[in-house]
Structures are given as structure tokens and as C-alpha cells.
């Protein structure tokens, strides 16, 4: 009986390959089996005939016969592309099957072949933000007024290490969410800049000692959490790393909020005295706000991603230090 089914279905495939004038004449094909049974193929879209050519009918019939032998009349839980037998792809079409899984169906118009990929809806990666940081005072850089806390761009590095989950919401829409740790390093233009504080607030002054100052900076460390909606016009389920050596061939853009909690901060001076290099590090809260929050923008193409973070709240507590809004920008590796 099984062989008879296969022979009849081969005949159906032959019919489906006849000229277009013949296929247009019928919306369904009825195959009679024995004296009282029949198999019906109902075709609502003629484009489906091309897909039908690539079905593994032996597997399909074996599943159907097993269900009939077991008197199981429920619909098959397998998606139709489970019976496709080819595996070449160019364009990807995502079909959800279970909440935690996806099947991606790929179609090549030239070869009429498919590739199936079973994968997760959420992908994890460890990203490194590497760039520079600065701050604005009422929309202006402090060097415009020659302030002692003016930052030297080269050497004021921003570093972030993030554990990021990338969740597909729709075909080209993702949410990148996760957490990590980051470091603000504000390297002062004036190497003699000294930071101290009293009960009234923070004091920036110039160290007048007759020694060779090499560096002065302020460092703050934060634990962060972020949530950035992403439009990936390539629909790639994960962002390709720069070190992987091949592009994802897509343009990506996203903007979303972040929040951070300060876990460490200190000021540091490096100088030479009597021919010896010395370091003076003072670990203190320095009236820095314990919480930072703002907006993150990301833009990428192929393997390259750039980021911009802007803190919408001030770096220092209100009335305890200069009114500064920190920001950072750079590349995500």
C-alpha cells in the first residue's frame, strides 16, 4: 500500500510540472485510493507548486500512514518545511514554531532550493565598548572657559565590558538588553589639577609644588544595565564580531536607555620628584552621584558598531560640584 501511495504522488508531481495553462485549470487534485478512499491536494497559490517539487513525500506518507494506523486524526504538529529535502539558501524567512525556537526558511529564486536553520530566539554575546569620554557644562565644553577640570581628549578613555542578550521581537526588530561594568577616565588637561573636598563641596585647585607633574585624572566605575531596541535591516539574529572576519551584510541602528550604579571612584596624580616617579591616589566618593542614567545610541554596518552614551543626569551631586553631563563614544568590539 505504501508503494502505491508513492507511485501516485510521483504522478501528481509530474502533473504539477506541466505547462502553466494546464495547472491553471484546476485548484485541486483528487487521487482515489482503493474503492472508498481518496487523497486531495488543494492548491490556493500556484507559487506553492514550486515548493511542492522539493517535498520528501516518502517521509510525509510515512507520517500520514502511521497516524492512520494509530487512528490519530489530529493535525500534524510538524511545520510544512520539515519535509523539505534541499539545503541551499540566500534569502531568509523566519517561521516561529515554539516559544523558545525558530525555524528559518531560506529561498533561492535561481536554484529553487531551501535551507532550514533551527535556532534560539535569544542570543548572548560579550561586547567591549572602547572609546573616549568627556562632559558638557550647560552645553559647552569646559575648555571654552579654561576650567581646571577641562579634559584632555587623548587619554580620557572609556571602557565597558557588557554581557548582552539579543532577542528577536520581529523579523528585523530586536531588543539588546543586559548589564556590565564601565570606567570613566577623565584625564585633566592641566597636569597640576588637584581635587579635594570639604563640607560645602568639591574643590578643584592647581598644585603649586615645584615638581614635574605627569598626569592628573578622575576615575569612576559603574555597574550598568541597558535596554536598546534595534532595527537590523539585514534581519540577522546576532551581531557579527569584528574579529570573526566576515560581515553580516546589514545596517543596524538603535536608541535606548541605560542606568548605572557607582561602585568605585578615585583621583590620581602622577609626578616625578627627586628623579623618582610617584603616584598619589585618593579613593573617595568626591561627591559623585551614585546613580547615572541616560540614552545610548548604536549604529553599525557589517562587522563595525559605534556607540554614543549621554548621561542625562549630572556627574556630581547638586550644589557639590560643577554642573557636568558626562558622555562617551567609540566602537563596540
Per the rule left: phi > 0, alpha: psi between -120 and 50, beta: everything else, 300 is beta
Q: In which residue are the cell numbers 563641596 written?
A: 201
Q: Predicted confidence band at 141 (pLDDT cuts at 50, 70, 90)?
A: very high
pLDDT-wise least confident of 22-36, 87-101, 149-163, 190-204? 87-101
**Cβ partners under 8 Å of residue 34, min gap 6:** none
Q: Is residue 96 part of a domain?
A: no
Domains of the chain: total: 1
Report the percentage of the chain scoring pLDDT > 70: 71
Residue 193: is its pLDDT beyond 80? Answer: yes
Q: Is residue 44 part of a domain?
A: no
Q: Is residue 294 part of a domain?
A: yes
Residue 263: is its pLDDT beyond 90? Answer: yes
- pLDDT single digits (tens) 45-94: 777 777 777 777 777 777 777 777 776 666 655 555 666 665 433 334 43
The model's pTM is 0.65
Query: Would you give the distance in Å from CA 6 to the centre of its chain?
Result: 46
Q: Is residue 30 part of a domain?
A: no
CB 5 within 8 A of CB 61: yes
Q: Is residue 41 part of a domain?
A: no
pLDDT-wise least confident of 47-61, 156-170, 188-202, 293-307? 47-61
Provide mean pLDDT across the span 20-31. 58
Q: What is the pLDDT of residue 118?
A: 44
Provide mean pLDDT across the span 205-215. 96
Q: Is residue 1 part of a domain?
A: no
Q: Could you tell me the residue range of the domain that residue 163 belongs to?
A: 122-332
Q: Is residue 128 part of a domain?
A: yes
Residue 143: is its pLDDT beyond 70? Answer: yes
Report the percentage of the chain scoring pLDDT > 90: 56
Residue 3: is its pLDDT beyond 80? Answer: no
Q: Which domain CATH number covers 130?
A: 2.40.160
- pLDDT single digits (tens) 145-187: 999 999 999 999 999 999 999 999 998 999 999 999 999 999 9
Q: Higher-confidence residue: 316 or 153? A: 316
Q: Is residue 33 part of a domain?
A: no
Q: What is the mean pLDDT of the chain?
A: 81
What burial class does residue 28 get, using C-beta atoms within 10 Å of its C-beta: 0-12 exposed, 13-18 middle, 19+ buried?
Answer: exposed
Provide mean pLDDT across the span 267-296. 96
Q: What is the pLDDT of residue 32?
A: 73
Amino acid at each position: 500500500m505504501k508503494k502505491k501511495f508513492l507511485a501516485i504522488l510521483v504522478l501528481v508531481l509530474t502533473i504539477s510540472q506541466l505547462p502553466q495553462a494546464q495547472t491553471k485549470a484546476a485548484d485541486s487534485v483528487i487521487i482515489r485510493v482503493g474503492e472508498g478512499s481518496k487523497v486531495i491536494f488543494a492548491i490556493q497559490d500556484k507559487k506553492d507548486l514550486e515548493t511542492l517539487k522539493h517535498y520528501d513525500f516518502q517521509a510525509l506518507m510515512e507520517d500520514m500512514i502511521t497516524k492512520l494506523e494509530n487512528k490519530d486524526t489530529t493535525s500534524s504538529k510538524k511545520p510544512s518545511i520539515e519535509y523539505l529535502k534541499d539545503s541551499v539558501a540566500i534569502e531568509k524567512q523566519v517561521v516561529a514554531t515554539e516559544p523558545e525556537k525558530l525555524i528559518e526558511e531560506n529561498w533561492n529564486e535561481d536554484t529553487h532550493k531551501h535551507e532550514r536553520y533551527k535556532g534560539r530566539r535569544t542570543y548572548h554575546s560579550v561586547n567591549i565598548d572602547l572609546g573616549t569620554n568627556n562632559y558638557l557644562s550647560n552645553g559647552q565644553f569646559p575648555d571654552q572657559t579654561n576650567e581646571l577640570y577641562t579634559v584632555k581628549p587623548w587619554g580620557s578613555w572609556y571602557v565597558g565590558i557588557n554581557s548582552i542578550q539579543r532577542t528577536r521581537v520581529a523579523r528585523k526588530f530586536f531588543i539588546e538588553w543586559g548589564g556590565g561594568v564601565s570606567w570613566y577616565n577623565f584625564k585633566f588637561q592641566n597636569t597640576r589639577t588637584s581635587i579635594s573636598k570639604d563640607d560645602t563641596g568639591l574643590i578643584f585647585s592647581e598644585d603649586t609644588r615645584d615638581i614635574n607633574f605627569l598626569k592628573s585624572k578622575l576615575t569612576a566605575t559603574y555597574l550598568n544595565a541597558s535596554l536598546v531596541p534595534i532595527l537590523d535591516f539585514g534581519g540577522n539574529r546576532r551581531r557579527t564580531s569584528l574579529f570573526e572576519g566576515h560581515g553580516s551584510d546589514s545596517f543596524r541602528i538603535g536608541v535606548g536607555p541605560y542606568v548605572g550604579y557607582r561602585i568605585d571612584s578615585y583621583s590620581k596624580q602622577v609626578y616625578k620628584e627627586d628623579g623618582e616617579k610617584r603616584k598619589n591616589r585618593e579613593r573617595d566618593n568626591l561627591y559623585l552621584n551614585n546613580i547615572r542614567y541616560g540614552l545610548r545610541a548604536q549604529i553599525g554596518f557589517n562587522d563595525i558598531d559605534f556607540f554614543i552614551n549621554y548621561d542625562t543626569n549630572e556627574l556630581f551631586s547638586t550644589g557639590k560640584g560643577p554642573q557636568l553631563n558626562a558622555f562617551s563614544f567609540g566602537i563596540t568590539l
